[in-house]
């Protein structure tokens, strides 16, 4: 098992591996020293100037002078640990604790080494706090992190009076949720390109639509998608001069979703591996009150990804309609057994269309929305955490469409040849409930890869 130092740069894949118990973390002496120096600098700065959250109250109470004690630190956490809404699953909870540990290892928070080390140790255990999404905004996951702090304190982890605000001044849960969701989505997108290639092969689409020379003017991800589609489509002659948009635009749609995914992923990795606290401890033995916690860049990146995914979901559903149309496959309409009143796989189209509605609904919320809280101290807190949750729902919808496509392809002779993740049912086309077959493809979707001789 790989053990990565907290002070290293972590990518989404390693965060996911840790969250699933497939990687480990270590807090080496260099990271511990950096955390210690940050804590000392915070205390030193507070001697000569006001420090938000340490010598002052927080939020609208930022003008009130305070003298922090261990009890006032606990009181601050208790007051902020409001837990409502959907419960965070253990994988994302562990990822959130890891992300906050990575951020603390940068030394910019001013959190004490005892508390930082306690968090890192707790992230590796099976005794996890109960977290909920309901109070997170795009300026921080203060409720969830306050709950984590109380969880640690209740288990005897040492903390300092100055640790109150610095520990919970982060969007660690939002970044962790984004990391896990984006990793899962990347696997769905990979399967999506493979399944689109099978559709193109099944309908004997026009190879020119994936032409390397014609698409040379497009960006790298479009060209890469076209190359994958060419590989699966093969060299069999085309049936038509020009295809409907769902096939003709496949390289552009898949490539654009991939590009949007990369933009969101890069934004998440930057946020995970940085000290985005307020105030932030600087290497110059000073501190700065700053707005680096503002996650608008991530909100906008996810907003763009949601829209790209909604477009691809619509085209994927249209590809399913092609498979159910005898004019494109040469098989029976709705891939039935030919009985006069048979409806075959007709209901797959309904299921996919309902999933398109879910994807479009997830993309419809506008990224410019925000809210004013704490008597105007935060005049515009974006809904970044909500955007990540919408992305998870959109991914689920997209996976449903792909599963419907997988079942439909299995009803065509040769439709799933070379794709062991999909099942050939072309000899059994009688009318039946296809629910179990769709769920079976969903379970195997991440393994769908087409082998070509």
Q: Tell me the three state secondary structure of residue 400.
A: helix
- Return the percentage of the chain with pLDDT > 90, whole number: 77
What are the structure tokens assigned to 416, written together?
């799933």
b/e string for 196-210 if b means 16 or more Cβ within 10 A? bbbbbbbbbbbbebb
Rounded mean pLDDT, 101-112: 96
Split at pLDDT 50, 70, 90, the class of 65 is low
Rounded mean pLDDT, 132-139: 83
Rounded mean pLDDT, 79-91: 94
Rounded mean pLDDT, 348-373: 85
How confident is the model at residue 286, as a pLDDT?
83
- Residue predicted with more confidence, 70 or 152: 152
Let me know: does 183 contact 16? Beta carbons within 8 Å: yes
Q: Whose structure tokens read 């962790």?
A: 176
Rounded mean pLDDT, 291-313: 93
Q: Is the pLDDT of residue 22 over 90?
A: yes
b/e string for 211-234 if b means 16 or more Cβ within 10 A? eeeebeebeebbbbbbebbbebbe
Q: Is the pLDDT of residue 247 over 70?
A: yes
Count CB-CB contacts under 10 A for residue 101.
25
Rounded mean pLDDT, 120-144: 91
Rounded mean pLDDT, 329-350: 95
Q: Is the pLDDT of residue 174 over 70?
A: yes
Measured distance CA(431)–CA(308) in Å, rounded: 35
Q: Is the pLDDT of residue 376 over 80?
A: no
Split at pLDDT 50, 70, 90, the class of 285 is confident
Rounded mean pLDDT, 99-115: 96
Q: Is the pLDDT of residue 80 over 80?
A: yes
Q: Tell me the three state secondary structure of residue 266.
A: helix
Q: Is the pLDDT of residue 40 over 80?
A: yes
- Residue predicted with more confidence, 225 or 46: 225
Distances (CA, A) of 410 to 198, 244, 395, 406, 438: 10, 22, 23, 6, 11
Relative to beta strand 370-373, strand 378-382 is antiparallel
How confident is the model at residue 333, as a pLDDT?
94
Side-chain-side CA neighbours of 326 within 13 Å: the count stands at 10
The class that CATH gives domain 185-275+295-447 is mainly alpha
Measured distance CA(346)–CA(323) in Å, rounded: 10
Measured distance CA(293)–CA(137) in Å, rounded: 11
Q: So where are the chain's domains?
A: 2-171, 185-275+295-447
Q: What share of the chain is helix, strand, coil (3-state, %, to 5)?
A: 55, 5, 35
Distances (CA, A) of 407 to 95, 394, 420, 426, 440: 34, 20, 13, 10, 9
Measured distance CA(64)–CA(126) in Å, rounded: 40
Q: Is the pLDDT of residue 244 over 80?
A: yes
How confident is the model at residue 423, as a pLDDT?
95
How confident is the model at residue 377, as a pLDDT?
58
Q: Is the pLDDT of residue 398 over 90?
A: yes
Choose which CATH entry (3.50.50.60, 2.60.130.10, 2.30.180.10, 1.10.275.10) describes domain 2-171.
1.10.275.10
Let me know: does 200 contact 329? Beta carbons within 8 Å: no
How confident is the model at residue 378, as a pLDDT?
65
How confident is the model at residue 140, as a pLDDT?
82
How confident is the model at residue 160, as a pLDDT?
95
Rounded mean pLDDT, 377-400: 88
Helices and strands (H, E) in the chain, number of each type = 16, 6
What are the structure tokens assigned to 203, written together?
């309908």
What are the structure tokens assigned to 256, written together?
């654009």
Per DSSP, the residues of 304-353 read HHHHHHHHHHHHHHHHHHHHT-HHHHSS-GGG--S-TT--TTHHHHHHHH
The four Cα atoms 197, 200, 201, 207 give a dihedral, to 10 degrees, of -100
How confident is the model at residue 372, as a pLDDT?
61
How confident is the model at residue 137, as a pLDDT?
80
Split at pLDDT 50, 70, 90, the class of 291 is confident
What are the structure tokens assigned to 265, written together?
């992923």
Q: Tell me the three state secondary structure of residue 380.
A: strand
Closest alpha carbon to 281 in 162, 132, 443, 114: 162
- Residue predicted with more confidence, 285 or 79: 79
Count CB-CB contacts under 10 A for residue 430.
9
Let me know: does 103 contact 272? Beta carbons within 8 Å: yes
Q: What is the pLDDT of residues 187-223, one digit of tens each?
A: 999 999 999 999 999 999 999 999 999 999 999 999 9
């Amino acid at each position: 098992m790989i053990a990565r130092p907290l002070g290293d740069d972590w990518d989404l894949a390693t965060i996911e591996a840790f969250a699933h118990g497939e990687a480990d973390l270590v807090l080496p002496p260099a990271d511990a020293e950096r955390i210690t120096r940050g804590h000392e600098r915070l205390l030193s700065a507070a001697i000569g100037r006001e420090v938000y959250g340490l010598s002052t109250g927080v939020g609208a109470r930022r003008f009130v002078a305070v003298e922090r004690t261990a009890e006032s630190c606990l009181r601050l956490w208790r007051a902020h640990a409001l837990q409502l809404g959907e419960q965070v699953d253990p994988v994302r909870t562990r990822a959130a604790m890891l992300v906050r540990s990575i951020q603390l290892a940068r030394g910019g928070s001013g959190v004490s080494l005892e508390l930082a080390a306690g968090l890192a140790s707790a992230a590796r255990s099976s005794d996890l706090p109960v977290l909920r999404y309901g109070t997170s905004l795009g300026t921080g996951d203060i409720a969830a992190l306050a709950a984590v702090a109380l969880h640690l304190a209740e288990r005897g982890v040492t903390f300092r009076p100055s640790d109150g605000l610095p520990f919970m001044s982060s969007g660690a849960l939002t970044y962790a949720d984004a990391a896990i969701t984006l990793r899962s989505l990347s696997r769905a997108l990979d399967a999506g390109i493979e399944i689109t290639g099978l559709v193109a092969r099944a309908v004997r689409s026009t190879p020119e639509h994936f032409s390397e020379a014609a698409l040379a003017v497009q960006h790298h991800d479009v060209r890469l998608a076209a190359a994958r589609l060419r590989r699966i489509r093969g060299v069999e002659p085309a049936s038509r001069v020009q295809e409907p948009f769902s096939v003709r635009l496949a390289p552009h749609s898949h490539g654009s979703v991939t590009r949007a995914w990369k933009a969101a992923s890069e934004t998440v990795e930057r946020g995970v591996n940085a000290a985005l606290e307020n105030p932030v401890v600087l290497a110059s033995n000073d501190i700065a009150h700053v707005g680096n916690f503002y996650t608008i860049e991530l909100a906008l990146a996810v907003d763009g990804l949601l829209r790209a995914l909604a477009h691809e979901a619509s085209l994927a559903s249209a590809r399913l309609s092609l498979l159910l149309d005898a004019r494109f496959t040469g098989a029976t309409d709705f891939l039935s057994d030919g009985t006069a009143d048979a409806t075959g796989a007709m209901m797959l189209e309904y299921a996919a269309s309902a999933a398109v509605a879910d994807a479009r609904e997830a993309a419809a919320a506008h990224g410019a929305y925000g809210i004013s809280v704490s008597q105007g101290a935060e005049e515009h807190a974006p809904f970044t955490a909500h955007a990540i949750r919408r992305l998870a729902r959109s991914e689920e919808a997209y996976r449903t469409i792909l599963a419907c496509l997988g079942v439909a392809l299995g009803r065509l002779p040769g439709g799933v040849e070379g794709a062991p993740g999909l099942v050939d049912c072309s000899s059994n086309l009688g009318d039946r409930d296809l629910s179990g077959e769709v769920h079976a493809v969903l379970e195997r979707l991440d393994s769908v890869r087409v082998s070509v001789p």
